[in-house]
């Protein structure tokens, strides 16, 4: 194969996109294993863990740090550049959507046919390829600064490279199985990354929780995939959802046209691009028309998905095969994108470093869940027509789950005090928006919100990481320079840093440690023995005054940070406004508005799910705006509530630049990304941003579907709803938290408004974690301990082994006795016999000569007699 | 002439006395004496047979002479041994010489 031709073939390029980060993972893993063993109590090992006292722990060498950064960034940049190239090539394809960039190879022989795996770039992939590599690269740059002093930085870059590689694999996959591979690898990476600081018990517990919760959902998703394969014989997206179904004779069709022999366009040097279906489609259309006689009557193509929508499912007669498959696949997304009831892992996942949170919860993992449902949308829609009120079960499920989640998570976010937890619940809520939008048929709206959300959420997470970083800097500053530690304020939240004193700490070292303290606030939690940044646990002159340690993530400890961290403030503000949906100038507004518009349209037609979605999402949007304003107010406005906040800043130098540059870039996108989706008939702005008949974003995305999607037209009411909820929420937040910013020690006004019990319930996340522990975790642990361990393992298996051992021991003893008696008896008996007989014979040897003589005489006589008798001598004598 | 069998009987009786002596005497010298008796009886037998069956052949006399000589040598050697034993054991009782008993 000609390498040049290959590299210029746009069909082939998508293969290379995930290769960069994956290769980076392997190279970093192999090359950067050098560490210096340092005593665990030294300052370089910032996360002091009491179990490691007296031991040496490995801290990565500087050279390994540099190598990991360089290789990691190269991987991410290569993916980004290649994605941009692929996007340009794809957008240049004629009739993009019908013609796609695709390339696949035989992966597994299955008799007459082969299961093929490959890459596909269709409109949906294009938008993901615009967003994902950009966000990932930003996160990589951010990580350079954030993890600059972490003892295991190289491992971090290896893992996020793997993560990025898996996400990109998922994005460019052309079949459900390869998507699932990427999905699962991301699940593993989430475990590894959330539990990155594995010395912390809360971190590794959170990692296990994340992995097992998503795994539960993944098993069910796999069932869906299996059923889909069983029904259709293929898992290729185009084959199932875009290409017309092969006729009755499956085998013949598959050999002629059904598989992607037309799509495998590798190696035609240089020419622009492949189509795949253009020729094959004509042929098939006519054949299916002949076979089924339906084509031509309507514009809908009979794809596998459509067919499955008419076939009843195997087990549950009431729904179609597509419905059952859809439900299973959606359950996969419910787990991966943290929808109710499998949302419990996401807030705990805040234990991981902030770049991980940004990656997992904004750009990659949760987006993967929504991307998967976007991909499989035709399967969910099959048999129904949401725009006309005919809902299939998967769509209903999505609408209900999405709206419930959106509302439910927004209510919890209102009562959280940890800056990252608010964002976590906000993520869950926004993902609920996307899923609900898809449930009511808003394919374009959901995709739009996915993209804008990724941008502003990644921005928000990274900005919050900068805030935390700054707070830790402030905390350390307060330690090291021995300021009066606010003993005298007597304010509960202004908790004292534990273990102060000692010699001057190296300022560099405390900077990047985000130990993700994992609890939302101070109220009655137990002391973090080792959770603190500081390593000098020797002196606790201050710790005994307060039962709890200083939590740099608690918003009640912040306040007034706009003065010391202005860039972070502006970018956080922009991201927050985008999240809240500040009208017209933020991307979040446009995407949210489109969802609300879809819901409104359906509600006017009287469809139930649309109404549900409208109400829940509007309320959720209102609360989103409110808690965002609350978060901004508590963190940045007003005055510093603690000494640490007064000194919070990012410092100067490469760390702060590495951390603020991505924020600036992403805030640009958080504003601008929305303008590609402005409806054409939007007053004034529609004319400016959307010259054509359809918004550019929508025009692109809807080409991914084979059946046309009805276009939204402008309606003033949903816009008014969006304006009202956004501005209303922002105003309410401003009223409560900005006009009179909270001072140190002041109680959160939400507590008084909602009442103690309601507020506590919200703060404790409706006690879902406790419920799951009681219902799932404890029984599993009981089962594991008593059944698996005691009964099965020790009882049955060990018992069986003991039994076998006992039997053989018994046989052995038996043989021993046999041995002793029989063999030893014989082999000892014979010599004994001989000895005794010898002894007896010895008796004849008396040593007395006369005795011997007597014997001789007797012998002679006997011989003489015998001689005489036998030879007859006696007779012969006359 | 005296019949042959008379000489043979005499020899036999002497022989038996000799055997009896060898087997039952305690003193080693007495045993030697008994051995001499046995040898003498053998001599009587030899001469009797020579005289009565083939007197012209000298073989008989020669044989008897041999026996005499050997008896004498043997007595000498035997006495030497007894003396040697006596020197070691201070006793010539044959029963006491039973070191070779098993």
Predicted pLDDT at A819 = 87
Mean pLDDT of chain A: 79
Least confident of A469-478, A629-638, B80-89: A469-478
Checking if the pLDDT of A837 tops 50, the result is yes
> Is B85 an interface residue toward A (CB < 8 Å)?
no
* Contacting residues of A for B92, CB less than 8 Å apart: none
CB atoms closer than 10 angstroms to residue A534: 26
If you measure CA to CA, which chain A residue comes closest to B23?
A: A850
Q: In this structure, is the dihedral angle defined by the CA atoms of residues A534, A538, A540 and A544, taken in order, positive or negative?
A: positive
Q: Which residues does A101 contact at the CB level (< 8 Å), separation at least 6?
A: A10, A11, A13, A14, A86, A89, A90, A93, A119, A120, A121, A273, A274
Better pLDDT: A788 or A837: A837
Q: State the average pLDDT over residues A183-207.
A: 90
Give pLDDT, residue A877. 55
Q: Identify the pLDDT of residue A813.
A: 94
**Is B94 an 8 Å CB contact of chain A?**
yes
Nearest to B23 among A845, A846, A850 (CB): A850
Q: Which CATH class is domain B4-95?
A: mainly alpha
Chain A CB within 8 Å of residue B32 CB: no
Query: Which among B23, B94, B100 has the least Cβ separation from residue A854?
Result: B23
Asked if B98 reaches chain A (Cβ–Cβ under 8 Å), the answer is yes
Classify residue A683 as exposed, middle or buried by CB count within 10 Å of its CB (0-12, 13-18, 19+).
Answer: exposed
The ipTM value here is 0.89
Domain ranges of chain B: 4-95
Interface probe, candidates A839, A842, A844, A849, chain B, greatest B C-beta count within 10 A? A849
* pLDDT tens-place string over residues A700-758: 888 888 777 787 778 888 889 999 999 999 998 888 888 877 777 777 777 777 778 88
Whether A845 sits inside 8 A of B97 (CB atoms) is: no
pLDDT at A275: 35
Lowest mean pLDDT among A246-260, A714-728, B26-40: A246-260
Q: In chain A, pLDDT over 70 holds for what percent of residues?
A: 84
Instruction: Measure the CA dihedral A543/A546/A550/A553, to 10°.
Output: 160
Q: Provide, as residue numbers in chain A, all residues whose Cβ is less than 8 Å from the Cβ of B98.
A: 846-848
Which chain A residues touch B if contact means CB-CB below 8 Å?
A: 842-850, 853-854, 857
User: End-to-end alpha-carbon separation of chain A, Å?
Assistant: 130
Asked if A845 lies within 8 A of B99 by C-beta distance, the reply is no
CA nearest B20 in A: which residue? A854
Residue in B22, B97, B102 nearest the CB of A842:
B102
Mind listing the pLDDT tens digit for each residue in A105-159? 888 887 777 788 889 998 899 999 999 999 999 999 999 988 888 888 889 999 9
Residue in B with minimal Cα distance to A854: B23
Which chain A residue shows the shortest CA-CA distance from B21? A850
Q: Measured between beta carbons, which residues in chain A are less than 8 angstroms from residue B19? A: 857
In this predicted structure, the answer to whether residue A231 has a pLDDT above a threshold of 70 is yes
| Pair of tokens at residue A288 | 């299916």
Record: contact A846-B99, CB cut-off 8 A: no
Query: Rounded distance, CA A350 to CA A194, Å?
Result: 7
The more confident residue out of A192 and A284 is: A192
pTM, rounded to two decimals: 0.72
CA distance B18 to chain A (A): 12
Of B19, B22, B95, the CB nearest to A848: B95
What is the C-alpha to C-alpha distance for residues A449 and A435, in angstroms, rounded to an integer? 10
Nearest to A853 among B23, B95, B100 (CB): B23
Two structure tokens written together for A423: 């964002």
pLDDT at A453 over 80: yes
A-B CB pairs within 8 A amount to 33
């Amino acid at each position: 194969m000609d390498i040049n031709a290959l590299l210029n073939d746009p069909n082939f390029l998508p293969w290379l996109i995930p290769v960069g980060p994956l290769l980076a993972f392997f190279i970093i893993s192999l090359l950067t294993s050098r560490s210096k063993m340092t005593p665990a109590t030294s300052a370089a090992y910032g996360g002091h863990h009491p179990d490691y006292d007296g031991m040496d722990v490995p801290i990565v060498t500087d050279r390994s740090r540099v190598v990991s950064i360089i290789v990691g960034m190269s991987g991410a940049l290569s993916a980004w550049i290649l994605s941009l190239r692929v996007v340009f090539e794809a957008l240049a394809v004629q009739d993009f959507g019908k013609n796609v960039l695709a390339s696949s190879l035989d992966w597994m022989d299955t008799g007459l046919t082969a299961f093929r795996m490959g890459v596909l770039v269709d409109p949906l992939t294009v938008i993901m390829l615009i967003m994902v590599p950009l966000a990932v690269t930003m996160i990589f740059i951010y990580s350079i600064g954030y993890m600059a002093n972490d003892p295991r930085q190289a491992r971090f870059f290896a893992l996020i490279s793997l993560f990025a590689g898996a996400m990109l694999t998922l994005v460019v996959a052309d079949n459900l199985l390869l998507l699932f591979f990427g999905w699962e690898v991301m699940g593993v990476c989430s475990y590894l990354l959330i539990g990155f600081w594995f010395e912390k018990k809360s971190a590794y517990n959170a990692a296990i929780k994340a992995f097992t919760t998503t795994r539960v959902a993944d098993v069910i998703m796999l069932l869906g995939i299996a059923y889909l394969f069983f029904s259709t014989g293929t898992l290729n997206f185009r084959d199932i959802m875009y290409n017309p179904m092969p006729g009755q004779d499956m085998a013949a069709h598959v050999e002629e046209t059904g598989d992607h022999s037309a799509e495998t366009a590798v190696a035609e040097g240089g020419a622009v691009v492949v189509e795949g279906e253009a020729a094959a489609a004509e042929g098939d259309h006519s054949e299916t028309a002949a076979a089924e006689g339906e084509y031509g009557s309507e514009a809908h193509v009979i794809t596998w998905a459509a067919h499955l929508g008419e076939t009843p499912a195997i087990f549950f007669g009431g729904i179609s095969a597509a419905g059952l498959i859809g439900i299973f696949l959606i359950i996969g997304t419910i787990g991966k994108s943290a929808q109710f009831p499998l949302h419990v892992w996401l807030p705990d996942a805040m234990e991981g470093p902030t770049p991980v949170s940004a990656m997992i919860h904004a750009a990659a993992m949760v987006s993967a869940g929504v991307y998967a449902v976007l991909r499989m949308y035709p399967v969910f829609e099959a048999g129904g027509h949401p725009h006309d009120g005919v809902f299939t079960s998967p769509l209903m499920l999505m609408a209900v789950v999405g709206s419930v989640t959106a509302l439910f998570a927004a209510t919890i976010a209102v009562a959280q005090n940890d800056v990252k937890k608010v964002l976590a619940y906000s993520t869950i809520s926004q993902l609920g928006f996307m899923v609900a939008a898809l449930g009511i048929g808003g394919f374009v709206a959901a995709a739009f919100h996915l993209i804008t959300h990724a941008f502003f959420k990644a921005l928000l997470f990274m900005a919050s990481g900068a805030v935390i970083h700054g707070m830790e800097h402030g905390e350390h500053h307060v330690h090291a320079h021995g300021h009066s530690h606010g003993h005298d304020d007597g304010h509960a939240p202004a908790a004292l840093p534990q273990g102060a004193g000692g010699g001057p700490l190296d300022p560099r070292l405390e900077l990047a440690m985000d130990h993700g303290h994992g609890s939302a606030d101070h109220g009655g939690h137990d002391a973090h023995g080792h959770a603190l940044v500081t390593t000098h646990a020797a002196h606790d002159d201050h710790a005994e005054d307060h039962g709890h340690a200083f939590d740099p993530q608690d918003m009640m400890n912040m306040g007034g940070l706009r003065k010391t961290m202005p860039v972070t403030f502006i970018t956080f503000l922009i991201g927050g406004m985008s999240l809240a949906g500040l009208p017209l100038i933020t991307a979040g507004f446009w995407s949210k508005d489109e969802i609300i518009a879809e819901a409104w349209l359906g509600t006017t037609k009287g469809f139930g799910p649309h109404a549900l979605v409208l109400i829940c999402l509007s309320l959720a949007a209102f609360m989103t705006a409110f808690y965002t304003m609350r978060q901004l107010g508590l963190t940045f406005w007003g005055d510093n509530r603690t000494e640490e906040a007064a000194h919070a800043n990012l410092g100067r130098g490469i760390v702060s630049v590495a951390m603020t540059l991505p924020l600036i870039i992403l805030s640009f996108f958080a504003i601008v990304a929305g303008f590609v989706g402005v409806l054409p008939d939007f007053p004034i702005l529609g004319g400016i941003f959307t010259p054509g008949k359809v918004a550019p974003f929508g025009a692109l995305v809807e080409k991914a579907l084979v059946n046309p999607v009805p276009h939204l037209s402008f309606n003033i009411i949903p816009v008014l709803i969006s304006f009202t909820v956004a501005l209303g929420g922002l105003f309410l937040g401003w009223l409560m938290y900005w006009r009179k910013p909270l001072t140190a020690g002041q109680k959160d006004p939400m507590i008084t408004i909602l009442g103690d019990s309601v507020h506590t319930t919200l703060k404790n996340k409706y006690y879902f974690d406790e419920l799951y522990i009681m219902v799932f975790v404890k029984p599993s642990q009981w089962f594991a301990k008593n059944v698996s361990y005691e009964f099965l393992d020790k009882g049955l298996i060990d018992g069986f082994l003991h039994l076998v051992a006992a039997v053989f021991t018994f046989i052995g003893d038996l043989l021993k006795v046999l041995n002793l008696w029989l063999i030893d008896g014989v082999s000892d008996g014979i010599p004994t016999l001989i000895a005794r007989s010898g002894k007896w014979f010895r008796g004849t040897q008396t040593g007395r000569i006369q005795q011997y003589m007597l014997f001789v005489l007797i012998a002679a006589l006997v011989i003489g007699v015998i001689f005489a008798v036998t030879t007859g001598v006696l007779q012969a004598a006359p | 002439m005296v019949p042959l069998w008379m000489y043979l009987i005499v020899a036999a009786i002497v022989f038996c006395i000799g055997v009896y002596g060898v087997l039952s005497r305690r003193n080693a010298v007495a045993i030697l004496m008994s051995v001499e008796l046995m040898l003498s009886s053998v001599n009587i037998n030899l001469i009797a047979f020579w005289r009565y069956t083939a007197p012209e052949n000298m073989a008989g006399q020669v044989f008897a002479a041999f026996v005499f000589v050997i008896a004498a040598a043997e007595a000498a050697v035997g006495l030497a041994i007894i003396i040697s034993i006596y020197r070691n054991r201070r006793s010539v009782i044959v029963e006491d010489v039973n070191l070779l008993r098993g």
